[in-house]
Every structure is written in structure tokens, then in C-alpha cells.
Amino acid sequence: MKLKLLRIVGARPQFMQAKPLTQELKKRGHQEILLHTGQHYDDRMSQQFFRDLNLSKADINLGVGSANHGEQTASMIQGIEKHLLENKYDAVVVDGDTNSTLAGALAASKLHVPVVHVEAGMRSFDKKMPEEINRVLTDHVSKLLFCPSSVSQNNLAQENIVKGVYLSGDLLAQCFYKFQKEALARVEQNLQQYNLKQNEYVLLTLHRAENVDNQKRLYDYLKVIATSPWTVVFPVHPRTYKKLVEFNLEHIIQQKPFQLIPPVGYLDMLALESSAIKILTDSGGVQREAFYWHKQGVILRDNTEWTEIVDSGWASLYLPGNDSCDLWKICDANLLTDQQFYGSTDVAQKIVDIMEANLL
């Protein structure tokens, strides 16, 4: 017997995590239908990742686009539910903590289709974050839960979720190491294109609602980042730029040290990360990639679900006004732990083994 799975994606890390699992499923002859919610709808935020990763075009694209959380999630649920009513699947596979994740989990669980949650058990312990709500609710309706680390596995145990929980490692790490050489081959091209020098610029990403929808917080972040002693390369998320215009703040990023560039694809983003002296981000995916590159990071939030990275010293949390964090300090890398917290080499193989054992 072979599995028939519906895989739901909608945002940057989910495209990357789809790659190794899709390959493993295909190798074993299982059928995977890829549903793209359209949560990231800009070509450079979506289709470019499909091209870089050599992923087949999504079988279904709901084209939901941006909206308020309730409206966006409701539209996704409606589209996913319609598809599930018309087609039979052994399970629905969701990743991470986006609105696409929650929509897929809710639609499937209400129709009694098993939910498989990749990247389960992550907790920031901050219920003000929409992503935290998405994570918790998805975990509580899932049949199989794949944890990146022992910390995330323990988080689930604290919530009395122990059945169907497995320590798998991080699919994003597996994808990272698979494409690392290809990314490095693009470094020189990117440095020339943007007139940069290796280890002489900071890379910035900023897109989370709690940061860019809050005019004061966004202004405070930009003002302190403007003190950078290095060029700040800023691939601006479309949603972020919309808010910069709305709040009349775009003039700040149109002067030094900021260097605005359009959103970039997966391989070019990895190349830019690899050459940065420091990475400032509010992205869960980028903070992990910084760690995998052994680049020092600043997480532009007051908490993170990837707690091991902060505890190891490779990244620090930062909110404007946090005088205890020296934003521009470069630590001696020899003093930082080289420990790998997240398994990275055979993650997809482990996940498919367990799905075969439990779903066939």
C-alpha cells in the first residue's frame, strides 16, 4: 500500500521544508498533493522558492493573499475543506506555525483526517503572538507530531501530549545542508550585484505583524538599526514596505546605512546570509539559517520558540530600549558552543518511516 497525503504550504520556511520530505515520499512511491494557500503571493516570496528548490508547481493554489488573521485563516479553511470533501487522503501534513498551518489542521481534524505536524512542540510561551496560538492549537489536534529537538518534545510532554510524538530533527536544516554548496557558489555574484564586501554588512529581515503593524515599534527598530557601523542590507518584504509607506517611515530606510533590495529567492538569501557579519531578523527560519551558518544573530523580538539558539549564545533577543543588548557587538566565535541541537541529515527519512508505520 502507498500513502496519499495532502501537503499544505504557504510561507517561506514551508517551501524549503517541503523539498526533502517530497523527495523522500516520491522515492518510496507515495503520492503527495501540494496545496499552496497563497499566504505568500508575491513571486519573489513564493514562486522563486519553488524554482530555486526545483519543486514542482503546486497542484492547488487557493490564492488567498494577505488579509486580517481571521479573514485569511477562514478563507484557507474554506478552500482546504472543500478540497478534502472532494478527495480522500490518508493524512494532511502541515509545517510550523503560520495561518496556513492552523487552517490545514482545523479543516482536516474536523473532517477526521489525521493531521501530521512537522516542527511540533515549539513554544515561545507568549500567547500574544499569533504564531504561538497556531502552534498550540495545531499540536493539540495532530495525530503525529515531529519535534526538531528534545526541548520541543519536552514542551509537548508538559502539555500532556505524549502519544504520537517523535524526535525527528529539523527539515529546514536538512534542506539547508543540501543546498549549502549551491548557495556558496552564488556569493560572489551577490556581492558584486549589490556592491558589498564579505563580512562588511549586516543583513536585516523584518516582517512579523507585532513589529511592522506597530508604528512606534517599527520606528524604534529602524532608528536603532540606523546606528549600524556597517551597511544594512534590507530585502524588504512587500507587507513591510506597505506599512513603511502607510506610517510615512520610508524616508528612514532610503538613507545610509540602509541598502534596500527587493525580496530575494532561497539560494540568494542563503548566499547573503553566509557573507554577512551579523544577521538581524524576526523570522524563525532566518534565525535558524544564521545559526547553521555560524553567524551571530539578533532576534528582533522579546522571545523566540527556537530557545536553544539564544541559550547557546549564537543569538540574542532585542527590543528597542533593551540597553542590556549590545546590538553591534561581535563575540569571539571560539567562545560559543558548536553544538548542533537539531538533527539534519536523515530527518525526512525518519518522518516517512514513522508515517508508514502509523498511517498505512
Q: Which of 30, 40, 83, 207 is catalytic?
A: 207
Looking at the fold, whether 140 and 240 belong to one and the same domain comes out as no
The answer to whether residue 207 is catalytic is yes
Task: Give the strands of the sheet with 231-235, arranged side by side.
Answer: 258-261, 231-235, 201-205, 278-281, 297-299, 315-317
User: In terms of domains, do 112 and 221 share one?
Assistant: no
Look at the pTM and tell me if it is higher than 0.85. Answer: yes
By residue range, what is the domain housing residue 353? 4-170+343-359
Do 88 and 213 lie in one domain? The reply is: no
**Do both 28 and 107 map to the same domain?**
yes
- Residue ranges for the chain with pLDDT beneath 50: none
Q: How many domains does the chain have?
A: 2
Q: What is the CATH number of the domain that holds 155?
A: 3.40.50.2000
Are 153 and 236 in a shared domain? no
Same domain, 270 and 121: no
Q: Per-residue pLDDT tens for 248-287?
A: 999 999 999 999 999 999 999 999 999 999 999 999 999 9
Q: How far apart are CA 8 and CA 5, in angstroms?
A: 10
Looking at the fold, whether 123 and 11 belong to one and the same domain comes out as yes
Amino acid in the structure at residue 293: W
Amino acid at 5: L
Cell numbers found for residue 90 = 490518508
In this predicted structure, what is the pLDDT of residue 45?
55
62 and 124 belong to one structural domain: yes
Q: Which residue in 353, 357, 288 sits closest to 122, CA to CA?
A: 288
